[in-house]
C-alpha cells in the first residue's frame, strides 16, 4: 500500500502534479482506513477465537463432570459395585486352584455350575462359576451386591468373588447336606420328621424376614424354591442363589420388571399379570407359601395331574387343600402324621402356606407376620377365604426356569401400598 501511495504522490508539475498529490492523499487515507479495519478484524478474530476456545473448554469440563456423576451416582451397576469393595477378591488362577481345576461338581443352576473347593486354611467352600449371559454380568452384580449386604444365620455366607475379564465366580460357604429339594423329593434315604420340617420352614421364614425388614436396603429374592435352600450339618436352612435378587429402599418396595423372573410353580401370579396387583416383596411371600406346601407334600404332582383341566391352576393354587381342611385331613397329604403335636404342626404349616399363596398380594401377610404365625398357636390362625383363581397367561412347564432367559429389566420404585 505504501508503494501505491508513492506512485501517486510522484507526479508532474502544474495541474497534473496537484491532481497526483490529491489522488495520493486520498489513497493514503483509504489505505490507512483499510489497515485500521484489518487490525480491528484481526483483534476481533483473536478475541472471538479465544472465546470460542474457552467456551469449548468449559463445555468439555461440564460434560466430563456430568458424565462422571452419571457413572458414579445414577448408574445402579456402579452403585452395586461399591458393595464389592470389602470382599476378598480371588484371581481366576486362585479359583482354579481352589476347585482343583473344577473337578467336583456339586450343583447346576440357571446362572452357572457350582463346584466344591478348599481354601488354603482347609475350609470347604462352594464356588459358583457363572456362565456368560445376555445380561452383561448383571446377575453377577446382583448376587454379590445382595449377599455382601447380609449377615444372618439363615443366609449363606459370602466369602469372596472373582471378576477377571469375562470370567466371574462367587465363593461362599459349603453346606454338606446340599439343597432342600433332595430331602423332600425322595432323592435321599434320609426321612425328615415333622419337627425338623417345621424348623426348616421357620428358618426360611426368618431368613426372608431379615431380607425384607432387617437389612438397611430391602432385598427381594425372586427365586425362593427348595433348590435354593441349603442345609448345614444340623439341617439349619440357609437361603442362597441371589442371581435374581433386587435391592430397593424399604419405603419404595414396589418393583416394575420388564421380564418375568423365577421358576414356574413358585412365581407369584402378579409377575405374569397386573390384574393380580403390583410386584413387590410380597412376591417372595407367595414363593415361600408354595415352598412350605411342597415340604408337606401338599403339592403332590401325581394328585395335581389327576385333573388335566385344573392342572395349570393347581400350579398356582392347590385348591384341594381346602377340601382336606374341611375333612380334618390337614397335613396328611403325603406324609404320615402320628402324634397330636405333629398334627398341630401340619395344620399350622398348611394354614400359613395358604395365607402366603393368596392370589392378591394385599391378602398375603408380611414376612414378619409369617414368622409370628409360625411361632404362635395354631388356634389363633383362621382359614383364609377361598379365592376365585384365574389362570395367568403364561406357559406351564414344571421344569422351566425363567431366570435363564431374563436379560433386561429396570427398577421403578413407588410407595408401597400393601
Which residue, chain included where needed, has cell 441349603? 230
* CB-CB contact of 194 with 337 (8 Å): yes
Catalytic annotation on 75?
no
Residues 408 and 314: their CA atoms lie apart, in Å, by 29
Which residue, chain included where needed, has cell 409360625? 374
* CB-CB contact of 222 with 244 (8 Å): yes
Q: How far apart are the first and last CA of the chain?
A: 89
Residue 128 known to bind ligand = yes
Q: Which of 132, 193, 223, 411 is catalytic?
A: 223
Q: What distance lies between CA 413 and its chain's CA centroid? A: 13
Query: What is the length of the chain?
Result: 418
- C-beta pairs of 119-125 under 8 Å, 24+ apart in sequence: 119/159, 123/174, 124/174, 124/176, 125/98, 125/159, 125/171, 125/172, 125/173, 125/174
Residue 155 region, left (φ>0) first, then alpha (ψ -120 to 50), else beta? beta
Residues 296 and 183: their CA atoms lie apart, in Å, by 11
Q: State phi, psi for 111 to the nearest 5 degrees.
A: -105, -5
All three cell numbers of 135, joined, read: 445380561
| HSE-up (13 A, CA, CB side) for residue 71 | 6
Q: State phi, psi for 60 to the nearest 5 degrees.
A: -65, -45
* CB-CB contact of 183 with 176 (8 Å): no
* CB-CB contact of 255 with 411 (8 Å): yes
Q: Are strands 88-89 and 158-164 parallel, antiparallel or unpaired?
A: parallel
* CB-CB contact of 83 with 148 (8 Å): yes
Q: What distance lies between CA 86 and its chain's CA centroid? A: 20
Nearest Cα neighbor of 112 from 93, 123, 97, 99 is 99
Residues marked as binding for ATP?
Answer: 128
Active site residues: 223
Amino acid at each position: 500500500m505504501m508503494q501505491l501511495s508513492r506512485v501517486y504522490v510522484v507526479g508532474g508539475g502544474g495541474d497534473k502534479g496537484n491532481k497526483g498529490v490529491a489522488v495520493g492523499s486520498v489513497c493514503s487515507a483509504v489505505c490507512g482506513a483499510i489497515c485500521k479495519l484489518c487490525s480491528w478484524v484481526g483483534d476481533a478474530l483473536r478475541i472471538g477465537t479465544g472465546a470460542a476456545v474457552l467456551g469449548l473448554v468449559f463445555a468439555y469440563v461440564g460434560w466430563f463432570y456430568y458424565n462422571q456423576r452419571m457413572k458414579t451416582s445414577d448408574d445402579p451397576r456402579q452403585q452395586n459395585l461399591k458393595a464389592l469393595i470389602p470382599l476378598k477378591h480371588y484371581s481366576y488362577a486362585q479359583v482354579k486352584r481352589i476347585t482343583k481345576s473344577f473337578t467336583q461338581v456339586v450343583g447346576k443352576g440357571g446362572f452357572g455350575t457350582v463346584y466344591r473347593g478348599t481354601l488354603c486354611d482347609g475350609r470347604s467352600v462352594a464356588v459358583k462359576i457363572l456362565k456368560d449371559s445376555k445380561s452383561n454380568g448383571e446377575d453377577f452384580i446382583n448376587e454379590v451386591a445382595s449377599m455382601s449386604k447380609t449377615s444372618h444365620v439363615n443366609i449363606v455366607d459370602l466369602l469372596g468373588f472373582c471378576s477377571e475379564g469375562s470370567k466371574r465366580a462367587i465363593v461362599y460357604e459349603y453346606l454338606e447336606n446340599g439343597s432342600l429339594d433332595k430331602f423332600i423329593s425322595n432323592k435321599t434315604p434320609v426321612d425328615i420328621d415333622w419337627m425338623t420340617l417345621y424348623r426348616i420352614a421357620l428358618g426360611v421364614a426368618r431368613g426372608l424376614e431379615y431380607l425384607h425388614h432387617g437389612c438397611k436396603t430391602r432385598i427381594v429374592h425372586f427365586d425362593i424354591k427348595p433348590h435354593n435352600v441349603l442345609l448345614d450339618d444340623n439341617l439349619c436352612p440357609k437361603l442362597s442363589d441371589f442371581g435374581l435378587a433386587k435391592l430397593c429402599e424399604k419405603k419404595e418396595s414396589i418393583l416394575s420388571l420388564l421380564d418375568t423372573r423365577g421358576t414356574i410353580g413358585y412365581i407369584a401370579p402378579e409377575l405374569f399379570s397386573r390384574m393380580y396387583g403390583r410386584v413387590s416383596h410380597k412376591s417372595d411371600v407367595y414363593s415361600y407359601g408354595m415352598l412350605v406346601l411342597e415340604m408337606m407334600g401338599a403339592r403332590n404332582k401325581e394328585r395335581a395331574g389327576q385333573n388335566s383341566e385344573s392342572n395349570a391352576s393347581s400350579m398356582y393354587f392347590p385348591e384341594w387343600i381346602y377340601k382336606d381342611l374341611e375333612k380334618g385331613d390337614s397335613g396328611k397329604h403325603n406324609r404320615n402324621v402320628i402324634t397330636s403335636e405333629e398334627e398341630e404342626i401340619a395344620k399350622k404349616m398348611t394354614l400359613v402356606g395358604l395365607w402366603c399363596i393368596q392370589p392378591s398380594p394385599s391378602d398375603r401377610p408380611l414376612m414378619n407376620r409369617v414368622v409370628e404365625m409360625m411361632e404362635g398357636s395354631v388356634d389363633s390362625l383362621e382359614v383364609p377365604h377361598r379365592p376365585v383363581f384365574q389362570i395367568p397367561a403364561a406357559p406351564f412347564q414344571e421344569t422351566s426356569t425363567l431366570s435363564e432367559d431374563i436379560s433386561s429389566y429396570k427398577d421403578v420404585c413407588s410407595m408401597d401400598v400393601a
